[in-house]
Amino acid sequence: MRMFVKLAVAAALSSVMFAAPAAQASDQTELLDHANQTVNHLKSDPAFSVAAGMIHRARAVLIIPRLVKGGFIFGAEGGDGVLLKHNGRNWSSPAFYSLGSASFGLQIGLEQAELVFIIMTDRALKGIQASSFKLGAGAGITVVTLSSAAEGATSGQGGDIVVWASGTGAYGGLTFNGSVVKARDQWNSEFYGSDVTVSSILANRVHNKGTARLQRNLATVW
């Protein structure tokens, strides 16, 4: 009887130990599903023809399916996303990231937006690949929002990153100066099953079959 109880306890502990990573991995799977939906929304946007050409030339994309901005006097905005590198006609495995910033001003209500950061230059990609990177001209990285003038803004010295945004509600004052982009190392390790670096993920040295749909969808943008 005692042996049976010991076995039962051991089985229960084992199920808890294995259930926790599975539950955590489901967060990454859900984020990948939402990122795939964001790519579909970008494709159906009237500005897609401009965005498609940029993505064709892009070094990488950072997809934030749900950026939340809220508060009254103090506000904050942030969200999780995935970074994929352009490798020829294909896209790398995605690395999990977070985007966050703090702001001060009159912000009433809660607003949301989905974003695609189209990373046009090597210096911008190298910056984002760092463990924690602050966006803005102070870092030597220029960020512009997608518009009819964005194509010209990406030539010459400017437009390291072009941002496509589709918001719900009046998402005013869309600016990313001072925003911090940070790799989610724990999420990356949990999802790929070992301690991994962003560089190894973007070089396709690790794989998870759950990323295939998003990679295929991005490959059809152009």
Separation of alpha carbons 119 and 8, rounded Å: 52
**Please, are residues 82 and 33 in contact by the beta-carbon 8 Å criterion?**
no
pTM of the model as a whole? 0.81
The DSSP symbol for 94 reads P
Query: pLDDT 10s per residue in the chain (222 long)?
Result: 444 334 333 443 344 333 344 445 689 999 999 999 999 998 888 777 778 888 989 999 999 999 887 655 556 678 999 999 998 889 999 999 999 876 644 345 556 788 899 999 999 999 999 878 888 756 678 888 775 444 444 443 458 998 888 865 545 556 777 788 999 999 999 999 989 999 999 999 999 999 999 999 999 986
